Amino acid sequence: GADNALACLHDEDYDVPFNKQNLNYEGLIFVGGREAESLNGEWNFCVDLLDTGLRQKWFAMTPMPAEERPEPYDYDPYVGETVPVPSCWSMLKEKWYFFEGSAWYTRAVDIAEMPADERLFLRIGAAQYDCKVFLNGEFLGNHYGGSTPFNVELTDKAKVGQNWLMLCVNNARTLDRVPMRNTDWFNYGGVYRAVELYRVPKTFVKDLFVRMLPDDTYSKIAIDVEVDGDSSQSAKVSIAELGIDEEIALDANGKGKVIVEAKPELWSPETPRLYDVVATAGSDRVTDRVGFRQIKQIGEELFLNGKSVFLRGISVHEDDEFQGKVLLDDDLKQRFQHAKELNCNFLRLAHYPHDERASKLADELGFMLWEEIPVYWAIDFKNPATFKDADNQLRELVKRDRNRASVIIWSVGNENPDTDERLAFMKGLVDTANEMDGTRLTSAACLVNHTKNRIEDRLAQYINVIGINEYYGWYEENFDDLIEFLDNSDPGKPVVISETGADGYIGEGKLEKGFFSEAYMAEVYRKQIATLKERAFVKGISPWILYDFRVERRQNMYQRGWNRKGLIASDKKTKKEAFKLLSDFYATLKEER
Ligand code: GCB
């Protein structure tokens, strides 16, 4: 009662205890082949604009009939409205469309038994943007970053019988976050990827990293395994089709590594060959399907498996007219189907980590991927906490996806202002990517010196591939400046045109010519294609963008809350004229090779 009353009087520091701890993608990192208990489904739900729940400690309320409550509360987490998990609340009710702030999710978790030789982990696929986790009234931690998975160990927290799990998810935009307040995509809120419980033996495979070493021999597979629990045991890793069956000794930290000679059939978009990998430690067993390939940059060249490669790409957001963030398998499949119709071999998954099913599908279907963290525009580069957040998002992404052959590029940012703080910040991220994974390339959408009209970015020296977003014919109205721009630039490294394009509105009231008309958009594509194909250092293109996508900041009568640069409209069906232009261009490139 007294606590509750005080909560109304004082505003300071009510949230401090809940922002201290930071949850990560740790503990149980490798989930391949494990059986999970899904916690998807209906959860009790309430938006909480004023953070009353943290002030009044809603999480500490015990479930009981309303008439027995000893004191009044302004919400009862255990009864009332429900929403499905996963989902974006923005898409569920019109009054939640622009909601930015905290929202509470509550559900019962029934635990039949808690054997002494097992451990229990809660895994949350993603929650936008921070997520405070409570179990049976106890605060277990807070995760920052809206697009990567994280874990909470529940072994000593959960009890046999009914438990109450609560998540307080907050999608408010602030200056110190990654991204910050201003982005060119919609700020959806919610728990929008799977929530699962995993039971593992006391000794379990915590992490597994399997890849071909990029040493030009195409014959060495490196396997890193990490075991939690009894590290006096060894781990075993086998790839039956390659005759690999290795016993791996573990150090005191449970870590072990081997390099094995093998001659796998190489993974490529043309032959997306994958091998079944099995790892065991004690009674624990995990599996994965892994492709082996080498991606390399030398000077201005890019090589896949020793052959020079051109990235016939398309950029894509994780956005859907009805779901918000993409939630459905069919939607993901349709995306790759459209990329195939475009004759692509490459996708830029902009501007944040997409659902982990995307890279798995790309592995199976044969697409190379650029994966990215939302170090977007002018984030707070001088703030160490902001760096920690960005670095953690990158680490979580790399841990999640580093067995995926499809992923060839880790991108550490997009169009960031040229300052010393930004350079140090982004170099730090490149170092993290290289330290965690020496088998991929690094990139970023780099800077253009608009006065000199040339590529100029101090970050370029630290990365392998220079991404360039250029909008000649659109934001840069004089198209011919592109020719001068390319003439003036001497990158010394492969350039991927990570964005180019124009808005083309094809709905009611559409224009026949000029900005925002489909015809104008097609003309920009025609000119871009003709100009870019002539440049030796351009080693790839991923135009902006596959589908029209929702965005708050674009409100003219042709946009109405949508970025209309999609080659396909927001219905994900209606193709614009430029679709065929790009598809035909990529078809000729495919034939030439
Ligand atoms: C860009 C940004 C992208 C925007 C795009 C646009 O340079 O990287 O996020 O959506 O331009 O349409 O302006």
| pLDDT score for 3 | 62
For the Cβ of 469 lying below 6 angstroms from any atom of ligand 1, the answer is: yes
Q: How far is CA 31 from CA 72, 150, 239, 562, in A?
A: 43, 12, 18, 36
The residue whose CB lies within 8 Å of the most ligand 1 atoms, and thus the one to mutate among 351, 443, 469, is 469
Label the pairing between strands 407-414 and 441-445.
Answer: parallel
**How far, in Å, CA of 383 to CA of 371, rounded?**
24
What's 28's DSSP letter? S
Q: Tell me, in angstroms, the distance from the centre of ligand 1 to residue 415's CA.
A: 9
Strand extents, DSSP E, 192-274: 195-201, 204-212, 220-228, 235-239, 244-248, 255-261
Cα gap 485→535, rounded to integer Å: 11
Angstrom distance (rounded) from CA 181 to CA 179: 7
- Burial of residue 358 (CB within 10 Å: 0-12, 13-18, 19+) is buried
**Could you tell me if the CB of 544 is within 6 A of ligand 1?**
yes
- The tens-digit pLDDT sequence of the chain (593 residues) is 566 666 666 666 888 889 876 899 999 999 999 999 999 999 999 999 999 999 999 999 999 998 999 988 899 999 999 999 999 999 999 999 999 999 999 999 999 999 999 999 999 999 999 999 999 999 999 999 999 999 999 999 999 999 999 999 999 999 999 999 999 999 999 999 999 999 999 999 999 999 999 999 999 999 999 999 988 889 999 999 999 999 999 999 999 999 999 999 999 999 999 999 999 999 999 999 999 999 999 999 999 999 999 999 999 999 999 999 999 999 999 999 999 999 999 999 999 999 999 999 999 999 999 999 999 999 999 999 999 999 999 999 999 999 999 999 999 999 999 999 999 999 999 999 999 999 999 999 999 999 999 999 999 999 999 999 999 999 998 999 999 999 999 999 999 999 999 999 999 999 999 999 999 999 999 999 999 999 999 999 999 999 999 999 999 999 999 999 999 999 999 999 999 999 999 999 998 87
Q: Decide: 188 and 169 in contact? Cβ < 8 Å.
A: no
pLDDT at residue 1, rounded to an integer: 57
CB atoms within 10 A of CB 232: 9
Environment class of 507 (CB within 10 Å of its CB; exposed 0-12, middle 13-18, buried 19+): middle
Residue nearest to atom 2 of ligand 1 (CA): 184
C-alpha 303/C-alpha 279 separation (Å) is 31
Q: Which residue has the tokens 């509360």?
A: 73
Distance from Cα 545 to the centre of ligand 1, integer Å: 9
User: Is residue 359 within 6 Å of ligand 1 at its C-beta?
Assistant: no
Cα–Cα distance, 133 to 105 (Å, whole number): 10
Q: Are 247 and 253 in contact (CB under 8 A)?
A: no
pLDDT of residue 400: 98
Does ligand 1 lie within 6 Å of residue 563's CB atom? yes
Q: How far apart are CA 311 and CA 344, in angstroms?
A: 8
Beta carbons of 139 and 15 less than 8 angstroms apart:
no
Q: Is the CB of 565 under 6 A from ligand 1?
A: yes
Q: Hey, what amino acid is at 291?
A: G
Please name the residue whose Cα sits nearest to atom 9 of ligand 1: 184
**In 10 A of CB 461, how many CB atoms?**
10
Task: Establish whether residue 184 lines the binding site of ligand 1, counting it when its CB lies within 6 angstroms of any ligand atom.
Answer: yes
Between the two ends of the chain, the Cα-to-Cα distance in Å is 74
| Ligand 1 atom at shortest distance from the alpha carbon of 351 | 9
Q: Tell me the best of 562, 563, 564, 567 to mutate to test the pocket of ligand 1, counting ligand atoms within 8 Å of each CB and taking the most.
A: 563
Q: Sign of the CA dihedral 245, 246, 247, 251?
A: negative
- Looking at residue 113, its pLDDT comes to 94
Determine if ligand 1 sits within 6 Å of the CB of residue 503.
Answer: no
Could you give the C-alpha distances from 466 to 141, 309, 450, in angstroms and in order?
38, 15, 17
Q: Which atom of ligand 1 approaches the CA of 551 most closely?
A: 10
Amino acid of residue 528: Q
Among the atoms of ligand 1, which is closest to the Cα of residue 475?
Answer: 13
Instruction: Tell me the sheet residues that pair with 410.
Output: 371, 442
- How far apart CA 29 and CA 399 sit, in angstroms, is 7
ipTM of the complex: 0.99
- The answer for residues whose C-beta is within 8 angstroms of residue 64's C-beta and 6 or more apart is none
Number of H helices, E strands in the chain: 10, 34
Which of 544, 551, 558, 564 has the most ligand 1 atoms within 8 A of CB, as the residue to mutate? 544
Q: What is the pLDDT of residue 22?
A: 84
State the DSSP code for 320.
B
Ligand 1 close to Cβ of residue 470 (< 6 A):
no
Write the residue with the smallest CA distance to atom 13 of ligand 1: 184
* Cβ–ligand 1 contact at 500 (below 6 Å): no
Ligand 1 atom with the shortest distance to the CA of 498: 8
What's residue 14's pLDDT?
85
CA of 360 to the centre of ligand 1 (A): 26
Distance (Å) of CA 123 to CA 72, 112, 117, 120, 188: 33, 19, 20, 10, 20
Q: At what angle do helices 518-532 and 577-592 cross, to 10 degrees?
A: 20
Task: Report the C-alpha gap between 74 and 314 in whole angstroms.
Answer: 48
Rg value, the chain, Cα: 25
Q: How far is the CA of 367 from the centre of ligand 1 (A)?
A: 23
**pLDDT computed for residue 323 by the predictor:** 97
Is this model's pTM higher than 0.90 or not?
A: yes
Contacts of 561 (CB under 8 A, 6+ apart): 550, 551, 552, 554, 555
Q: Are 147 and 374 in contact (CB under 8 A)?
A: yes
Q: Report how far Cα 314 is from the mean position of its chain's Cα atoms.
A: 16
Q: Closest ligand 1 atom, CA of 565?
A: 12
| pLDDT the model gives residue 210 | 98
- Taking alpha carbons only, the member of 110, 108, 102, 109 closest to residue 127 is 102
Residue nearest to atom 7 of ligand 1 (CA): 469
Using the Cα atoms of residue 522, residue 562, residue 186 and residue 360 in order, give the sign of their dihedral.
Answer: negative
Taking alpha carbons only, the member of 335, 428, 322 closest to residue 373 is: 428
Residue of 313, 304, 302 whose CA lies nearest to 343: 313
Q: Which of 183, 184, 446, 468 to mutate to test the pocket of ligand 1 (most atoms within 8 A of CB)?
A: 184
Ligand 1 proximity of 414 Cβ (cutoff 6 Å): yes
Backbone angles phi, psi at 265, to 5 degrees: -65, 135
pLDDT at site 232: 85
Give, in order, the Cα–Cα distances in Å from 558 to each of 186, 507, 516, 562, 564. Answer: 17, 8, 7, 8, 8
Beta pairing class for 235-239 and 41-48: unpaired
CA of 69 to the centre of ligand 1 (A): 52
Burial of 560-583, coded b for 16+ CB within 10 Å and e otherwise, reads eebbbbbbbbbebeebbbbbebbb
